[in-house]
Amino acid sequence: MSLSVGIVGLPNVGKSTLFNAITESAKAQAANYPFCTIEPNVGVVEVPDRRLYEIARLERSKKITPTFIEFVDIAGLVRNASQGEGLGNQFLAHIREVDAIAMVLRCFEDPDIVHIEGSVDPVRDAQIIDLELIAKDLETVSKRLEKVEKMARIGDKKAKEELEKLSMLREILEGMEPVRRRELAQDVREYAERVLFLLTIKPVLYVANVDEEGLKGNEHLEKVMGYARNEKAPVVAICAKLEAELVSLPAQDRKELLLAYGLEEPGLNRLVREAYKLLGLITFFTAGEKEARAWTIKRGTKAPQAAGKIHSDFERGFIAAEVINYEDYIKVGSISKAKEMGLVRLEGRDYQIKDGDIVYFRFNV
């Protein structure tokens, strides 16, 4: 499953610094990632999950394989990008290819770093980005409308149904509102996502880039949190400069630097986890003496399809899944003990895998 998050922002907000930190983190993890070569503009980052390492310790697994998520560095945006200003066309094309957006907003003052808009205002910056995405979506919807209206006039039934959806989406966009903020019927949402590939339908995570002193009591951060609350979007406060420094240090020095700032873990960990949740992803585990491994699936995935993540034969010949959730597992400390105590359940093909499930698939091909 190749799901990606695009890192988006205006110039001089810290987007490149943040991505460089992610890329350095990705390099550190590259040996564990067996599926692709990391391109310069893509950071393939481990999803931090202590559960996997605890399972591996208790099962004495010889190998640990985490799950990963992709972050894509997207060209900086300026006003009128939708009309081709700056690298507008490249920016918008790249957003179309990602599954979610991490919108980096500057939440720090620094007279030595000029803001393209002349002042620091993260809410204004978010609105600039949204307005450019809205303008491009309006262009997409308008072009489609011209074609569909002609078909509807000659009595095409499907065209008439599509016309209703397009009219609804145009009304939202003409009100200068991103489509993602509206509650839509499932068929309309799927149409916007899979037929029109609208930019403003994509889920957004706000990344408030603060300075070393700005993680608390930051007026700009408070504004971002208020703005995000309107669409129930997650906010991650992160100091990109600090993150870039952390990834360049040995492990012990990282711990000391984090403690100095009163932090338990790097902000990148929180960013990755929130992005993972934003995409509607969950993790299940397989474990044994040879390997403990995390697997990524969409929430709601049924057992046979989850088995197919491991191997197509597992899905094709699926019989049942032996399941214990991590919370129950950790109380007894091993899968063998859990089986002895009758805590491992046998689930059929309609079972939806839950986050934290440890699973052994029975199959026959």
pLDDT tens column, 300-315: 999 999 999 999 999 9
Over residues 221-272, the pLDDT tens digits come to 999 999 999 889 999 999 998 988 898 888 889 889 998 888 888 988 999 9
Q: How far is CA 286 from CA 231, 236, 289, 325, in A?
A: 36, 30, 11, 11
- Domain that includes residue 166, residue range: 129-194
Rounded Cα gap, residues 351 and 346, in angstroms: 10
Question: Is there a contact between 276 and 68 (Cβ–Cβ < 8 Å)?
Answer: no
pLDDT of residue 77: 66
Which residues contribute to the annotated binding site?
A: 12-17
Q: Give the DSSP letter string of 120-187.
A: --HHHHHHHHHHHHHHHHHHHHHHHHHHHHHHHHTT-HHHHHHHHHHHHHHHHHHTT--GGGS---HH
Of the candidates 118, 124, 59, 79, the residue with the CA atom closest to the CA atom of residue 326: 59
pLDDT of residue 304: 98
Q: The domain that contains 188 carries what CATH number?
A: 1.10.150.300
Q: Give the DSSP letter string of 257-302.
A: HHHHTT-SS-HHHHHHHHHHHHTTEEEEEEE-SSEEEEEEEETT-B
Which residues contribute to the annotated binding site for ATP?
A: 12-17
Q: The domain that contains 359 carries what CATH number?
A: 3.10.20.30
pTM of the model: 0.85
Residue 133 has pLDDT above 70, yes or no: yes
Rounded Cα gap, residues 13 and 9, in angstroms: 7
Calculate the average pLDDT of the chain: 88
* 93-105 mean pLDDT: 90
| Token pair of 299 as six digits | 């929430």
Of the candidates 208, 206, 204, the residue with the CA atom closest to the CA atom of residue 216: 208
Residue 88 has pLDDT above 80, yes or no: no
Over residues 166-187, the pLDDT tens digits come to 999 999 999 999 999 999 999 9
Per the DSSP assignment, residues forming a β-bridge with 302 are 352
Amino acid at 254: R
Lowest mean pLDDT among 92-96, 197-201, 280-284: 92-96
Rounded Cα gap, residues 285 and 56, in angstroms: 10
Query: Which uninterrupted H or E stretch holds 17?
Result: helix 15-29
User: Which residues are CB-contacts of 60 (< 8 A; sequence separation ≥ 6)?
Assistant: 289
Residue 158 has pLDDT above 80, yes or no: yes
Q: The domain that contains 217 carries what CATH number?
A: 3.40.50.300
pLDDT of residue 347: 97
pLDDT of residue 252: 85
Residue 355 has pLDDT above 70, yes or no: yes
pLDDT of residue 30: 40
Do 28 and 103 fall within a single domain? yes
Residue 29 has pLDDT above 70, yes or no: no
**Position 57 in a domain:** no
For the chain, give the percent of residues with pLDDT over 90.
61
Over residues 323-354, the pLDDT tens digits come to 999 999 999 999 999 999 999 999 999 999 99
Do 212 and 74 fall within a single domain? yes
Do 212 and 139 fall within a single domain? no
Do 8 and 112 fall within a single domain? yes
**Position 286 in a domain:** no
Do 217 and 257 fall within a single domain? yes
Question: How many domains does the chain contain in total?
Answer: 3
